[in-house]
């Protein structure tokens, strides 16, 4: 095969691969953009009821850390990560964020409309007997309260945050808060890292 034929064959190969390379580039950009949501959404959450109560600043901290993770991963020069590694992180992130939503609903309450506030309040583990204090248990028995919102209202927790201690053991409140903070932070960091790794796979 002559040199001109070799050059022509190489040009045909490059022409055939061009559409594929374009799709790979688009996939990489899409993965990087999806990963960047791990830095954007926490910042947005600061202004919403999705943020962990009592320490809303964790949303801004998480967003900043996620941005660092995204940039550091995309600038990585050593080797190419595996799809499995990226997928595991994405599924773990999905689990953490779904579980965060469940725990947020279980361990926090929002004030009734009469209070004209959208603030979310940290409590213990809902109506779990081991999380409630004797005072709360007595309220449940004597007044027939059957929701965490009713208990919160009975101890005037919406106007006095220290009153939460009257209804839920303080250690359970702190434990619930720690779990929320961990799930929120780890979930978004794993999300960002996972999609950034996918972008590197498509590199």
Query: Does 94 reside within a domain?
Result: yes
Query: Does 10 reside within a domain?
Result: no
Cα 92 to Cα 88, 105, 199: the distances in Å are 6, 20, 18
Burial status of residue 196 (CB atoms within 10 A of its CB: 0-12, 13-18, 19 or more): buried
pTM of the model: 0.81
124 Rama sector, left if φ>0, alpha if ψ -120 to 50, beta otherwise: beta
Compute the chain's Rg from CA coordinates: 25
Domain that holds residue 184: 15-201
Total domain count, the chain: 1
Query: Does 9 reside within a domain?
Result: no
Query: Does 5 reside within a domain?
Result: no
pLDDT at 28: 63
State CA 34 to chain mean position distance. Answer: 13
Of 121 and 113, the one with more pLDDT: 121
Query: Does 156 reside within a domain?
Result: yes
Q: Are 73 and 200 in contact (CB under 8 A)?
A: yes
* φ and ψ of 118, to 5 deg: -105, 15
Render pLDDT for 43-89 as a digit per residue (tens, 0 to 9). Answer: 778 778 888 988 888 989 999 998 898 888 888 767 677 778 888 99
Query: Does 2 reside within a domain?
Result: no
Predicted confidence (pLDDT) at residue 202 exceeds the cutoff of 60: no
How does residue 20 score in pLDDT terms, banded at 50, 70 and 90? very low
State CA 7 to chain mean position distance. Answer: 52
Query: Does 74 reside within a domain?
Result: yes
Query: Does 153 reside within a domain?
Result: yes
């Amino acid at each position: 095969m002559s040199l001109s034929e070799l050059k022509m064959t190489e040009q045909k190969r490059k022409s055939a691969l061009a559409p594929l390379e374009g799709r790979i580039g688009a996939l990489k950009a899409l993965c990087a953009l999806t990963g960047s949501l791990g830095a954007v959404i926490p910042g947005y959450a600061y202004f919403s009821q999705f943020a962990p109560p009592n320490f809303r600043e964790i949303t801004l901290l998480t967003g900043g850390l996620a941005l660092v993770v995204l940039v550091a991963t995309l600038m990585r020069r050593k080797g190419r990560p595996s799809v499995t590694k990226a997928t595991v992180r994405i599924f773990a992130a999905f689990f953490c964020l779904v579980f965060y939503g469940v725990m947020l609903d279980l361990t926090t309450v929002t004030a009734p409309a009469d209070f004209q506030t959208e603030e979310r309040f940290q409590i213990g583990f809902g109506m779990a007997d081991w999380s409630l204090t004797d005072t709360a248990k007595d309220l449940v028995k004597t007044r027939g309260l059957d929701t965490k919102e009713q208990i919160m209202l009975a101890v005037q927790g919406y106007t006095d945050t220290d009153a939460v201690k009257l209804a839920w053991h303080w250690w359970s409140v702190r434990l619930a808060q720690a779990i929320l903070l961990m799930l929120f932070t780890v979930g978004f960091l794993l999300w960002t890292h996972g999609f950034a790794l996918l972008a590197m796979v498509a590199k």
